[in-house]
Amino acid sequence: MQRYQNYVLGQWIDGQGVETPLYHAITGQQIGEASSAGIDFGAVLEYGRKNGYTLRKMTFQERGRMLKALALFLLERKEKYYQISALTGATKIDSWIDIEGGIGNLFANASLRRQFPDLPYYVDGSAAPLSKNGTFIGHHIMVPKEGVAVHINAFNFPIWGMLEKIAVNLMAGVPAVVKPSEYTCFLTEVMVRDIIDSQILPEGALQLVCGLGRGILDTVDARDVVTFTGSAATGKLLKGLPRISEQSVSFNLEADSLNATILGEAATPGTEEFDLFVKECVKEITIKAGQKCTAVRRIIVPENVLDEVQNAIATKLASTKIGDPSQEGVRMGALATKLQVERVRANVELLAQSQQMVFGHLDDFEVHGAEKNAGAFFSPILFRNEKPLQATACHDIEAFGPVATIMPYKGMEQAIEIAKLGKGSLVSSIVTPSNQEAVEYVVGAASMHGRILVLNKDCAKESTGHGSPMPLLTHGGPGRAGGGEEMGGKRGVLHYLQRTAIQGHPTTITAITQQFQVGAEMPEANPHVFRKHFEELVIGETVFTHKHTVSDADIVNFANVSGDNFYAHMDATSLEGTIFERRVAHGYFILSKAAGLFVDPKKGPVLLNYGIEEARFTKPVYPGATIGVRFTVKEKIDQEKRSPEDIAKGIVKFLVDVYDETGETVALATILTMVKKLKDA
């Protein structure tokens, strides 16, 4: 009998006894067993905290490259995971969402490194002036928490559920302890073995618990972060543990919810949107056999097309083959376990007390290529509720399987009211060709939904669908959905960082943030900064340029070259009622002239200038004004080589401060340059 192990304390170990027998969801045959009994979880968490030092010391650039390397490594081995995923009852599409969707999450989070500094910590926002003369300022930094991320996942996504979470905490520099569902942990275990063998992650960055994990939260403390994905009832139970509140442990709850999809009144039968709606509903009922926290549970349609929508969905469900996904034509597999079949059946029976079952049967359905009673099979069920404002069980009871309820609405205001009866959802969607309907629904329903998909024929080909949360967008929702957020691009990474306010002199704050702060010391660069390689540049060093007196000829010549003949520059008779005293120099001339002043033209380490950020024109420049530039090294960001032949280089941001004869700033900008390194690393 295959014994699935735990990876903790730097080694693979068995738990005591057998906590969970593991079964093939299609055949019902036992495929293994798992246990985490006897594990000292206090030691496991402390091991992660102690060994997390390596992760915390890595820069965001290094962590991002690490995630990318891991994603490429796992992608090469994906076929192995597909074979094992089939044991969970998953179809090829189900497995694709779980496996390649999870690996895609690693890629997406790896790309976030471009939004972070080349430091182990993040500099948040802008400096705050705290004194009259500018010698005392404030800022914020965010450092990795010194605990572990404890991830407790539901059974429906044993790969995606792990990777979408660890991608974020690893990017932040925080190690993880992953506890997948004991029922599908065998798939997670196989991937974790590959991850450990790859040696891409530092030791202690990832630990795995395959059994029940009883006691895993008993020793969490304020340094740790706990995330839970699963039922609302279990999530609330865990979040309410005394240890969580006593230690003020950050707890992110992402709970299964009664997600709704709305057919807009403009999406009448015969439109592409009507057909898209039917297709999306059927997909959400059958993919993963409805075992998605984001699956559609409530189908809300205009009352005048209730019968047509019902018939269209039922017709497509009737043609959906249930069975062994390896068999030709099978489009829906089994639920994860027979226990889940029992739970879904019980909730279907409760729902049937107040609404009509119009498609499907609890016992009378056909299974292809497998024995119905041996596997964890369940028929798609479609209920009809003609009075959703009175018969409210469908807004309270979730059957976590291929089950949905169709219901009518009168006007968009009522559709929004019905959607909100779910008391908070992870996702909602509206299918409509009308932007007016889309605006009305989104603005009206957003307060009770974590994500809203607006689907029409224009985006359908590339839309990821109602049920697919995306790595760069938040995943979570208010109320019943748990009130949490995960993923969300940079937002998700920040969840694992501690924000701390820092105060001091601008020179000190510059040293801490590694970003030049106005008012800090500006030692004169010698030689010119364009003569220095990436490693040689120091934050704060400055080129003080020669000066130039702006003339009428400058303005005329720039207008001729640029074609910008805006009246304020060219027609002194049109300035009455404006803020200008006389014709004014073009702002872009000021920046162009600034470049002429600060650039050292000889060939050197600077490879190119590829952008301008935060350009501001702060004071009019009239003919006769004399301008100079303070050109300061603002920030440095390392950059990896894309190939062995690529030039070793980094990105340097320079602050361009253009000032006039009074010493007052007239223009500010940040330019981005690509600078060669000394070493071909």
Please list the active-site residues.
254, 293
CA dihedral sign of residues 9, 11, 15, 19:
positive
Residue located via tokens 């049937």: 352
Q: Tokens representing 62?
A: 């290094």
Q: Tokens representing 317?
A: 């469900």
Which among 213, 223, 214 is positioned nearest to 247, based on CA atoms?
A: 223
**Which residue(s) pair with 296 in the sheet?**
259
191, amino acid identity: M
Q: What is the DSSP letter of 112?
A: G
Contacts of 81 (CB under 8 A, 6+ apart): 74, 95, 99, 159, 187, 190, 191
Element (H, E) at 315: helix 306-318
Q: How far apart are CA 331 and CA 368, in angstroms?
A: 10
* Other residues' Cβ atoms within 10 Å of the Cβ of residue 501: 10
322, amino acid identity: I
SS3 375: coil
Q: How far apart are CA 324 and CA 375, in angstroms?
A: 9
Region of 423 please: left (phi>0), alpha (psi -120 to 50) or beta. Answer: left
Burial of residue 127, with CB atoms counted within 10 A of its CB: 0-12 exposed, 13-18 middle, 19 or more buried: buried
Alpha helices, DSSP H, located in 327-408: 338-351
Q: Tokens representing 643?
A: 């190939």
Q: Tokens representing 360?
A: 């499907």
Q: How far apart are CA 366 and CA 317, in angstroms?
A: 12
| CB distance 224 to 150 below 8 Å | yes
| CB distance 456 to 463 below 8 Å | no
**Which residue(s) pair with 46 in the sheet?**
none
Residue located via tokens 């935060």: 614
| CB distance 137 to 503 below 8 Å | yes
